[in-house]
Amino acid sequence: MGLLHHIEIYVSDLKRSAEFWGWFLSELGYTPYQQWEEGRSWKLGDTYLVFVQAKEKHLDVPYNRCRVGLNHLAFHANSREQVDALTVKVRAKGMNLLYKDKHPFAGGEHYYALFFEDPDRIKVELVAP
């Protein structure tokens, strides 16, 4: 009781977001769950993440994590090694790594994490135990 059932996020380009999130979530053990013309989802256990193509009329204002609404999604990593391995992959894919000057301790001296952005600039965090 109280665990997240699902999160639904509207995106500006479903194809681009599905490629990004499909790669990242599969690295964390998620599997494809649902697929339809305007959306995709991935599931791990009882929780799933849904990405839906935003309607054209809602694309005039781009996402900004500092506005009201979602700031970021943070995921548990299995280890510091997993954070390091995914950091290499994020860089190789040309994704925007955040807080480069403080990586992997951008969250503090004892907080080992990767911070980067999805195609809509939603911040993604992967935190080592």
Q: pLDDT (tens digit, 0 to 9) for every residue of the chain, 129 residues total?
A: 888 999 999 999 999 999 999 999 999 999 999 999 999 999 999 999 999 999 999 999 888 999 989 999 999 999 999 999 999 999 999 999 999 999 999 999 999 999 999 999 999 999 999
Q: Where would I find the beta strands (DSSP E) of the chain?
A: 6-11, 31-36, 39-44, 47-53, 72-76, 113-117, 123-127
Cα–Cα distance between 102 and 108 in angstroms, integer? 9
Q: How far is CA 61 from the centre of its chain?
A: 20
Residue 105: predicted pLDDT: 98
Q: Which amino acid is at 3?
A: L
- The one-letter code for the residue type at 81 is E
pTM beyond 0.85, yes or no: yes
